[in-house]
Amino acid sequence: MTSSKNHLDPETLAAQALGRIDRETGAVVPPLHSASTFARDADYALIGPHIYSRDSAPTLAHAEDIVATLEGGAGARVFGSGLAAFAALTETLAPGAHVVAPQVMYYAAQAWLRRLAERERLSLDLYDQTDPQTLKALVRPGRTELVWVETPANPTWDVMDIAFAAEAAHSAGAILGVDSTCAPPPTTRAISLGADIVLHSATKYLNGHSDLTAGVLVTAKDDARWVDIHAVRNLTGGVLGGFEAWLLIRGMRTLFVRFARQSETALAIARHFEGHPRVAGVLYPGLASHPGHTIAAKQMTGGFGGMLSILVDGDIDTARAVATRTRVFVPATSLGGVESLIEHRRSVESPESTVADTLLRLSVGLESANDLIADLEQALKG
């Protein structure tokens, strides 16, 4: 369900949580409904649209309406984590379905696909996310059911042309799913570029405060698969609680301003360290030197995001040491929060990971750009 105020800019709709002032109290902050069950009237009819919170609930529905509106989708479903959302989507695939996914993507999501492939639930081919033609070559007309794209790809920040991937998927009768966690609605609306399903780890930018674990799927069409996704969530119980849904609403109200500031600071950091004597490379789609910059500029219209990676000049021990010497950047997993994080990705990814030993992933928060640059400078010096 989308807002009736669709003549307003998405930034306004997000800031006002679709403008839903509490009718009973006049409160400008959306109310929190923590109820797990909902009453019936004297005729045993439901008083409202909800019966049990595993299926739906008021605060959950409000969060879903906001995400669907911002993405331009026909509907949204919120889950207890991004992986729960991804698993629900894969549960709707036919037995033995063929899936095409990138070689570099969120490692846990790829681990899930590998697990399903090992158990012969599906067949899996991985394409080179730096070369769209390898995606197209792997798609099998009449056989491929899901083409998966993550752009920018975590943690190398390679960029895939969503419109190209959509054409390749649809021409073969497949659907296109896009993990847009690192390119949220302020900069990319993947459905407008041809995506059928959009995924967000809402833990990250949508919430933006590192105090919530959540995931969300958005659909372009209210079709049979979408009905099935809702059924999977209901039957497996992977739904978000009322308080967590309220935290997600709170986070999305500042999404646009946070993302703009994080993008601005990340670009300043990337430019500063490009060509730095202690840095072998900077991976950030906002740099003109980035191989995917042209495509990123076309489909990331609201900034290039707060995620970048640096390749430290040295070996794995050098990179790990840099990650432990920062004083402003916090060495921790996750991304998209108001605090800046640094992580040595090779240390936490799966054995199949192809991430470079010297790669440090940076999630830029809301601190001073000067402080963050100075912090990395002192950490690199040792």
Q: What is residue 5's predicted lDDT score, i.e. its pLDDT?
A: 58
Say which of 158, 161, 179, 196 is annotated catalytic: 179
- Report whether 145 contacts 113 (CB < 8 A): no
Contact 75, 196 (CB under 8 A): no
Question: What pLDDT score does 72 carry?
Answer: 98
Asked whether 29 and 15 are in contact (CB, 8 A), the reply is no
Phi-psi region of 305 (alpha: psi -120 to 50; beta: other; left: phi over 0): left
Q: What percent of the chain has pLDDT over 70?
A: 98
Q: Annotated catalytic residue: which of 65, 77, 106, 375?
A: 106
Would you state the pLDDT for residue 7? 84
**Is residue 1's pLDDT more than 80?**
no
Indicate the pTM of the whole model.
0.95
Tell me the pLDDT tens digit for each residue of 65-112.
999 999 999 999 999 999 999 999 999 999 999 999 999 999 999 999
Q: Check whether 352 has a pLDDT greater than 80.
A: no
Confidence of residue 117 (pLDDT cuts 50, 70, 90): very high
Q: Enumerate domains of the chain plus CATH numbers.
A: 10-252 (3.40.640.10), 255-381 (3.90.1150.10)
Which pLDDT tens digit goes with each residue over 238-264?
999 999 999 999 999 999 999 999 999
**23 given a catalytic annotation:** no
List pLDDT tens digits, range 30-78. Answer: 999 999 999 999 999 999 999 999 999 999 999 999 999 999 999 999 9
Does residue 271 carry a catalytic annotation? no
pLDDT in the model for residue 350: 73
Residue 3 is predicted with a pLDDT of 42
Helices (H), the chain: 10-15, 58-71, 82-91, 107-118, 132-138, 162-171, 224-236, 242-252, 255-273, 293-299, 316-325, 369-381
Backbone angles phi, psi at 125, to 5 degrees: -125, 135
Residue 229 has a pLDDT of: 98
Cβ-Cβ contacts under 8 Å for 181 (sequence gap 6 or more): 82, 106, 150, 154, 199, 200, 201, 204, 205, 336
How far is it, in rounded angstroms, from Cα 129 to Cα 159? 7
Residues 382/354, Cβ–Cβ less than 8 Å: no
pLDDT, residue 21, reads 81
Task: Measure the CA dihedral 258/246/193/103, to 10°.
Answer: 80
Number of H helices, E strands in the chain: 12, 12
How far apart, in whole angstroms, are the C-alpha atoms of residue 216 and residue 233? Answer: 11
- Average pLDDT of the chain to the nearest whole number: 96
Catalytic residue among 204, 261, 345, 361: 204
pLDDT band, residue 147 (cuts 50/70/90): very high
Q: How far apart are the C-alpha atoms of 346 and 341, rounded to whole Å?
A: 15
Question: What pLDDT does 86 receive?
Answer: 98
Above pLDDT 90, what percent of the chain?
A: 93
114 is a catalytic site residue: no
What is the distance between the alpha carbons of residues 49 and 55, in angstroms, rounded to a whole number? 11
Residue 221 annotated among the catalytic residues of the structure:
no
